[in-house]
Amino acid sequence: MKPDTEGPLSLCELCLAQVCLSLDTLCTRRPDHSLCLSIPTVFPQEIADQLLHLMSKKGILNDSTAGIFRDCKQFRLRRATIRSCTISTDAFRLALCPHRLQELDASWVSGGLTGADIISGLVSNLECRKSLQRLSLNGLCLDWSTLKNERGCIGFSSLQGVRTLCLANTDLNDEVLEDICALPQLEMLDISCCAVSTLTPLLQCKNSLKSLIAHRLRQLDMSSSRLLSVLTQLQCVRHLDFSDDHLSEDSDGSSTDEMVRQLLEGSPQVLPSLVSLDISGRKRISETAVRAFVEARSGVVFLGLMATSVSSCDALEKCKNLKVTGEANESQVCEALRRYRDRECFIREALVHLYNLTTDIDKPRPDLLKLVLSVMQSHPSSLHVQLVATACVFHLTTQSLCEAMPLPLLSCTVTQLLLAMDTFPSNTQVQKNCLLALCSDFILQEVPFDKYVAVSLVITWLSSHEDPTLQRMAVAVISIIISKMSSEETAQLSKDVSIMKQLLTVVQQKAMVGVVDSTLKFALSALWNLTDEMPSAARNFLDCLGLELYEEVLETFCTEPSVQQKVLGLLNNLAEVEDLQSDLMDEDLLEHVLSLLQDGQLDVGVRYFAGGVLAHLASRPKAWTLDEELRTTTISQLHSSIMTWSHLEREMVSYRSFQPFYPLLQTSQPSGVQLWAVWAIHLVCSQNTAHYCSMLELEGVTELLKALAAHSETHHDVKEMIDSILSLVERRLSED
């Protein structure tokens, strides 16, 4: 998981990532639409392997993109992976079979490619017959009958160099196993979850086989004595996995359990080379048998006891060098999460115990978080895994804990949470777990992630649920994310009318019952930020009848300055858009806003935003369609009211740019309009001098202010405020 969760990527990784992004540019297309690298570049062998692996991991490896590997001079593949990719038989033969492969992972591929196709293709390369040492075909249909009937006498045994063979979750049968065991150098074999009925063929490779993984062999039809007899002859086996799926009820596995008991309690001369034994999921194991095993075999370094109820056996504590998977302590649970990444039955069990272990955690544990993310990535479609894993993530990323975590790790965490939300949109508990984890100021404000996807997912969930607690969290998440979005991200989001509608629905619900709570405030803040310098979002707001609703909110919450401020802040955003100013020409609305401006008892923040609405509307006399006397009064009251405002220490407002102020700073504007603009600029410059003084310089506003100050008809109150702003700028420049 290093590229996703730790440190910066290496230069090589960055370059390969760029190649993946630029394949269409770097390549031409053959008549069959496959890609061909147009630059005559020879990739070093290891780099070629890494590129194929990265393309596979990113999900961009297919019949078309695999075409670049047809040229064995440009790309010399040795360790190839097409795991979980969609590749056809023809594409596989053309792109991979010509290479002198040493390793191939074709597990879980789709696109019609079968195990028989792969074997046939590999065998067609005489060099590959000898060079291939490791082959993984987990999850594939072997289609052995096709290979046998149509393609002559070829099979796994034709690949004479194979040492490691993984065939878990395939249609492997006794006949195929016979062929496999004829491999002269076979050292490791994984036949988990296959339909074999006997292990007797293993005796053919008893002198070479060192590792046998036989998890959940539910069709095994051997007596315990016969099974033990076969295992007894496997003198070279060092690792034996005879674990079972304890959650499945399709077989009682009694004969196998009895064999395991006899193995545990029997002589160490049976499997004398054994250093690793996994019997997780075997429910009939006793502590007595486990104690006898560890006392008789001091050389064993691993024992799998997850879901056996005996992992707390006291004899295990005395074996300091023994690693155990189980549920007795954190070490055992973590070992299970590491070793059983691909086994859902054990991952589910381990996550439940990890959840209990982390309930009261008080120290940052990035190591545990990495383990949880790893299994979430391995089981994205498992509700059971995602349900408990997201709950564990919440425990591990509370505010005080996540601040000490590496940002890349947290970024990967948010990505996994969003994926879980997207995969299980109707599962309330998964959504709740994800929202609880996301509802963190640090994560939402400091961690990089796809904000558009996050808001879209939360909005989708919000539209079909009304649980007050979850609604509050969802709206809070949306509000904070929108406040941290760039202009480009906000512009993309503002195109989605459903987001606007859903937030307005929340506001309407609160307005109907007259309740002021954090949900209402977060919704108002989100709408305010969503329309900030976003004309399309402002237009959507009006089209969704938001103005009528906001007039109602102003009246309903007339004694709530925090609500009034957010409502007026959004109306400011509308008033900044010239094309929308006509929609605000409502006499009742403007008279109400004017009354707020004039009310000396109100918070300065409310009066400030009321003044902003009026200043923008009054700045365009030709667009003013109401009584002219109202405009004259507005301009006069702007000037007189602003002169009574005290300076604010608290940060009240932020601006993406000063562009909306340009029209207000023209020398032709009334003094009240100009005064509001310069007061606003002075406010933010005095509160965040470095940021806003630089913005003044970059956007040319300093020159506008100087021109306005130099104009003979500019009011002295405006000039004084400009002088104060310019002093701040000069002081800042001198410090730099």
**C-alpha span between 4 and 539 (Å, rounded):** 39
Long-range contacts of 701-708 (CB under 8 A, 24+ apart): 701/658, 701/661, 701/662, 701/665, 702/726, 702/729, 704/662, 704/665, 705/665, 705/678, 705/681, 707/667, 708/665, 708/666, 708/667, 708/674, 708/678
**C-alpha span between 581 and 624 (Å, rounded):** 9
pTM of the model: 0.87
Question: What pLDDT digit, counting tens, does each position of 39-49 carry?
Answer: 888 999 999 99
Q: Examine the pLDDT at 599 and tell me if it is beyond 50.
A: yes
In single-letter form, the type of residue at position 1 comes to: M
Regarding predicted confidence, which is higher, 246 or 296? Answer: 296
**C-alpha span between 255 and 225 (Å, rounded):** 9
Residue 352 contacts residue 375 (beta carbons within 8 Å):
no
Structure tokens at 646: 């005290």
Order across the sheet with 188-190: list the strands: 79-81, 103-105, 134-136, 164-166, 188-190, 211-213, 239-241, 276-278, 302-304, 323-325
Structure tokens at 421: 């939300």
Which pLDDT band holds residue 648 (cuts at 50, 70, 90)? Answer: confident
**C-alpha span between 601 and 561 (Å, rounded):** 11
Q: What are the residue boundaries of the structural domains of the chain, listed by start?
A: 174-339, 358-449
- Interior CA angle at 284 toward 282 and 287, to 5°? 100
Phi and psi at residue 206, to the nearest 5°: -65, -20
Structure tokens at 502: 């859903």
Class of domain 174-339: alpha beta
Question: What pLDDT digit, counting tens, does each position of 469-510 carry?
Answer: 889 999 999 999 999 998 899 999 988 899 999 999 999 999
Structure tokens at 673: 């309009």
Which pLDDT band holds residue 32 (cuts at 50, 70, 90)? Answer: very high
In single-letter form, the type of residue at position 370 comes to: K
Residue 465 contacts residue 435 (beta carbons within 8 Å):
no
Question: What pLDDT digit, counting tens, does each position of 51-96 carry?
Answer: 999 999 999 999 999 999 999 999 999 999 999 999 999 999 999 9
Which pLDDT band holds residue 252 (cuts at 50, 70, 90)? Answer: low
- Interior CA angle at 733 toward 729 and 736, to 5°? 145
- Quick one: pLDDT at residue 463? 86
